Each structure stands twice: as structure tokens, then as C-alpha cells.
């Protein structure tokens, strides 16, 4: 009984906390990537061994997509052979 009373207080607190926030943006399903900024090009602040793709190129390369199950996929390019000293394509979607 004491456990149930404690659980009741916790549930009430959680509800109070949730009420303090309003949903301002939602990303889901087939529109998941709408509204993201895709950093495009070479990032000279990190000097990494990657070249970031635009949203169109990321989509065309299937590095970002929404699969048939409605899940957003962000993946690495694990199929392209990249010669020594060249940069692998990658994605950097940002909000």
C-alpha cells in the first residue's frame, strides 16, 4: 500500500512536469528529415577525412532516408572504396 501511494505521488509529479512543456516541433515518419540543415562540404573546423553531403546528395546516396517501416536512417557509407588520401562521403544533419 505504501508502495502504491509512492507510485501515485511519482505519477502526479511526472504529469506536472510534462504539463510544463509544449511541443514546438515534431520530426517523424516520412517527413523526418524536413527542417534539418545538412552541413555541405568539407568541415575546416574539424579537418576530418570526410566530405559532407547536401540533403539531396545524402538522399541520392541513401546515407539518410526513411525506410519502409517509417524509421529514419542515418548511416555511414560502407560500400564505396575510397582511395588513399581522398575523403569519404558522410552526412551531418543538424537542427
User: Please, is 6 exposed, middle or buried when counting C-beta atoms within 10 Å of its C-beta (0-12, 13-18, 19+)?
Assistant: exposed
Residue 85 CB, nearest approach to ligand NAG (Å): 19
Pick the closer one to ligand NAG by CB: 21 or 81: 81
Pick the closer one to ligand NAG by CB: 40 or 55: 40
Cα-based angle 53, 36, 52 (whole degrees, multiple of 5): 15
Pick the closer one to ligand NAG by CB: 63 or 93: 63
Residue 46 CB, nearest approach to ligand NAG (Å): 10
Q: Which of 8, 83, 88, 14 is nearest to 53 (CA)?
A: 88
Residue 93 CB, nearest approach to ligand NAG (Å): 18
Pick the closer one to ligand NAG by CB: 6 or 71: 71
Q: Which residues bind ligand NAG (CB under 6 A)?
A: 44, 78-79
Say how far apart CA 72 and CA 84 lie, in whole Å: 31
Say how far apart CA 73 and CA 70 lie, in whole Å: 9
Residue 81 CB, nearest approach to ligand NAG (Å): 10
Amino acid at each position: 500500500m505504501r508502495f502504491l501511494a509512492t507510485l501515485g505521488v511519482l505519477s502526479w509529479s511526472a504529469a506536472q512536469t510534462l504539463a510544463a512543456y509544449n511541443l514546438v516541433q515534431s520530426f517523424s515518419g516520412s517527413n523526418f528529415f524536413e527542417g534539418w540543415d545538412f552541413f555541405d562540404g568539407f568541415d575546416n573546423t574539424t579537418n576530418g577525412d570526410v566530405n559532407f553531403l547536401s540533403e539531396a546528395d545524402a538522399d541520392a546516396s541513401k546515407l539518410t532516408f526513411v525506410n519502409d517501416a517509417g524509421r529514419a536512417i542515418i548511416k555511414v557509407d560502407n560500400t564505396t572504396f575510397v582511395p588513399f588520401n581522398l575523403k569519404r562521403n558522410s552526412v551531418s544533419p543538424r537542427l
